[in-house]
Amino acid sequence: MAGSGEQGLYSRQLYVLGGGARRLAEAAVLVSGLRGTGAQVAAALVLAGTGRVVLHDSGAVRTGDLSHQFLLGGNDVGQNRAEVSQRALAELNPHVVVAAHTEELSEAFLASFQVVVLTESPLEEQLWIGDFCHVRGICFIVADTKGLAGQLFCDFGEHFVVEDPAEGDPVCAIIQHISQGNPGVVTCIGTEDSHGHLFCDGDLVTFSGVEGMSELNGQKPIPVHVLDAFRLEIGDTSSFSPYCCGGLVLQERLPQVHSYKSLRQALAEPRIQVASPDVLLRSQSLHAAFQALHIFCKEQGHLPRPRARADAERMLELARSLRTQQGLLDEYVVRAFASVSAGDLCPMAAVVGAMAAQEALKAITGKFLPLDQWLYFDALECLELEEAMQLTEEDCAPRGTRYDGQIAVFGATFQEQLGHQKYLVVGAGAIGCELLKNFAMMGLAAGPGGHLTVTDMDTIALSNLHRQLLYRSSDISKPKSVVAAAAIQRMNPDVSVTAHQNEVGPATESLYGDDFFQHLNGVTSALDSMEARTYLENRCVRCLTPLLDSGTEGPRGNVLAMVPFLTKPLEPAGASRDGTFPFCTLRYFPRTIQHTLQETSPGIPFWTGDRSCPHPLTFDPDNNTHLQYILATAHLFAKAHKVPPCSDQAATQTILRSTVLPPFLPQEELNIPLAEEQEEVQAPEDHGRLVKLTQDLVQKREELLGGEEVQVPLMEPIHFEKDNDIHVDFITAASNLRAENYGIPPADWLMSKRIAGRIVPAIITTTAAVAGLVCLEVYKLVWGCQDLKCYRNSNLCLSDCLLLRIQPLPPTTYWYGGKEWSCWDHLELQAVGADGKEMTVQEVLDWLQRTYGWSVTMLLHGYTVIYDKEEDEEIQAQQQAQRLSEKLEHAREMRRLELLYVCEGEDAEASNRRPPLLCSLP
């Protein structure tokens, strides 16, 4: 019942990939080409637990590889890339066999793999290997990045079975009524938020637990037609028995068969997947540009030289010849692509490599729809900045440094600017690890005056290792920030980094105050708490500090850019991600397994609708759920009393079979509310009972000891830990017993762990891609870009291989005091009075009157009133004479007060439309 060691390691990934994830251990994948993109593919596959990963590369490590291939170090220059990468990847996951292959590829060698991934491969090689894989039914992937553009291609054969095409759990709804008719109509009970069911037209469903119209139970899947948020049509039910009560309707996901063209066919007849129709021409132009690049390299013997106009024009000629029979060509895209195609960028490799790795995981697991068949991704908007457009061949020529691939795109001066940056990275989890790895490769904070600060309160756990690249099993229980900082310094010794173990919040404002934020060039947020993310956003708005916020959930991810005075502040989505459940899910009358895992209309029969009538359970030691409950409970009692637990299941069963249990008697005077709304009233009573129970236990212990000095072991309280298998064993068994009471389908161990532990599904591919997208925005911030159209917010869905990048919204404006203000604006006051000391309240009031013509009637700091014109004259005089921070607790430590004010003549809506007043204390 308990999770194995591998379940503990891969649990977050199992929630994403489902049962198909268990096929990973038997799979063999070849990754050919071990520069930046190939390294990202291979690392993701190794961390995910792919059984055998073979690395192929016949080339030697060059100094320029060190800016985008994170598995290499300075001492590896001159050695074979595959062999060096093999040594690094083997440390990531001892459950995976990682091997290196340095010879030429042959058909006999390729035949042993389930998936073949080519990166950095010439077209001739791609074609013959693609033909071979297509015939043999080997899933074939091409992934390539050149400068600021990337290409991805998939051919999974002519008969590829997708076992489960969708993400998340199948949709389920509770039945309230089913009509007899043609068609019959199923009425569902609303969800917690009253949004109704989540079925779509054409979904296939099955029924279970229906009483009365029992003919539906066990039927083959049937399609539904959605009438509205609560009703579904299901076909002819006119001959069925009348519906009585109960039942669930469950979505059934049937396997799908997909067919793919070979690479040779797909080049001429491309199916290009795009997130929106308006980017199709851009993708078609990149399709031609990549083909033209292969021809150019074969013709010239090298990639187009950075910013070389003649090379770009030749590329355009070749692309035009390829597009003569295929339609229009965006010539700007081809020229821009050609001008930087010799560049190598770590963020691009991260995005394309992660997406390619996800396609390989789809090929192995049968989970999610594979790419059909081409995808192109670019960040050519980075070249639209004024400084970038002025770069010359000389600016981008190689310098013989590790950053030559980045210099080829952005120039040598920009590389120096990267080194000077000061950044705060909040969170060193999955995204944080990928961000820090990318920063080290890019050379962010690797020059004079540059510095990275990374802070994370957490320590490394086993479940982190399958997606948090910088950690190893030997690091378990160590501080994340400390280990991460040391890891990136090994990657790039020039990076200046300091590790903190603090929360960024109100309690640490003495450390992370306004001065700290104002001296930063930017902040990246990799937090999983909406409260913490909102606080960080507010701090950055107040201090006018750029913020790049990112998050993931399973195969989905997003990146939001917040640039002072240029974009609208982030305003994160309101859905709670802080690990809390609405109180309304804690049920006296549970309807779903979630309700059993979180415990605590007139004229209609009580046991109808959303209330299922419970039935008593008779204990059976041969029932596995009953037995596991006893074993898990006994184990917890043993731990609490500090005695060795019994692990002999057979002996336990023998004892239980001879145990005679007293008959069940309902507890007297037990009050169960008949309405869910009464549950909140019950919570304080439960807390009081817990306090009393604790006091009773202390008293009982004293009575048992009788004042004697007896060495009796003290009881040890047990706090729930989601990664402790015994704790999850108990939760699973207890919730499934209650589910059995109410006729609810039970949950397996993993599902119970996810619900009780409030675990967000996570996978390395999503976090790596999201971090790459963040770093593309960092480039723009380093340029000091003030052109809104160059920035991008990104939404990623790897389950469908979709990436949508859109321009952020401009900041909102409002009118106050006869002037238009931006949401970024605030009033700045150096609060030094005429005597050189801190201003008095009256001096602040005078400054507002003198500077803006505003007569202030009230001045506040938070909820503390500093001045109120409605007070009597004596109190007003006292308020006006006092120093600004005189009555404010901790104000002197902050050194910068944010004050609110109310002016004469304000209308009722002005409270949300006035710029804050920031007073800097002397």
Q: How far apart are CA 899 and CA 517, in angstroms?
A: 19
Q: What is the DSSP letter of 840?
A: B
> Which residue type is seen at 574?
G
* Nearest partner of 911 among 867, 866, 857, 875, judged by Cα: 857
Number of helices (H), then strands (E), belonging to the chain: the values are: 28, 31
Distance between start and end Cα atoms, the chain: 64
Q: Are residues 546 and 497 in contact, defined by beta-carbon separation less than 8 angstroms?
A: no
3-state secondary structure of 796: strand
CB contact burial 590-619 (16+ within 10 A = b; e otherwise): bbbbbbbbbeeeeeeeeeebebbeeeeeee
Half-sphere exposure of 256 (CA within 13 A, CB side): 12
In a 3-state reduction of DSSP, which class is residue 505? coil
| Residue 439, number of CB atoms within 10 A of its CB | 29
543 assigned to active site: no
How far apart are alpha carbons 399 and 142 in whole angstroms?
Answer: 30
Q: Which residues of 529-545 are buried (b: 16+ CB within 10 A; e: fewer)?
A: bbebbebbbebbbbbeb
Cα–Cα distance measured from residue 832 to residue 235, given in angstroms and rounded to the nearest whole number: 79
Closest CA to 437 of 523, 343, 346: 346
Q: Report the amino acid identity of residue 826.
A: H
3-state SS of 386-437 is HHHHCCCHHHHCCCCCCCHHHHHHHCHHHHHHHHCCEEEEECCCHHHHHHHH
- Catalytic entry in 297, 396, 584, 823: 584
Q: Where are the alpha helices (DSSP H) in 591-717?
A: 593-597, 624-640, 649-657, 679-705
Q: CA separation (Å) from 812 to 380, 781, 822, 831, 913?
A: 28, 21, 6, 29, 11
CA distance 810 to 776: 20
Rounded to whole angstroms, the Cα distance separating 564 from 570 reads 11
| Identity of residue 124 | E
Q: What is the 3-state secondary structure (H, E, C) of 169-225?
A: CCCEEEEEEECCCCCCEEEECCCCCCCCCCCCCCCEEEEECCECCHHHECCCCEECE
Instruction: Tell me: cis bond preceding 373? Omega within 30 of 0 counts.
Output: yes
Distance CA 841, CA 919 (A): 11
The CA-based angle 78-84-89, given to 5 degrees, is 160
Beta bridge partners of 859: 867, 901
Residues serving a catalytic function are 584
